[in-house]
Amino acid sequence: MTQYDDRVQAHKEKTESEEWGKGMKYIHANGGVIETAFNNGDIRYETRVDGKYKTTWHREKIKSESLLQAWGRWLVDMEWKK
């Protein structure tokens, strides 16, 4: 059963990087606009209009290979900070 170890590991890394991509990178508020950036490049803008929040998204079309590279760099950085 060790013949599929590399495929299983690759799928595990892809799944973990996609989950990491949904995490928040930063939140910034200025001039009534709340900007929330995510690790996968998506940005959510929230503004308050007439007492209600309006949400606008900027979706980044990032490829899974790029997301895997960004996740890998993040892992290395976290190990270095320990």
Distance CA 1, CA 61 (A): 36
pLDDT at residue 59, rounded to an integer: 92
3-state secondary structure of 72: helix
Task: Let me know: does 36 contact 46? Beta carbons within 8 Å.
Answer: yes
Output the pTM of the full model: 0.78
pLDDT in tens, 20-62: 999 999 999 998 899 999 999 999 999 988 888 899 999 988 8
Taking Cα atoms as reference points, which of 21, 26, 7 lies closest to residue 35? 26
3-state secondary structure of 10: helix
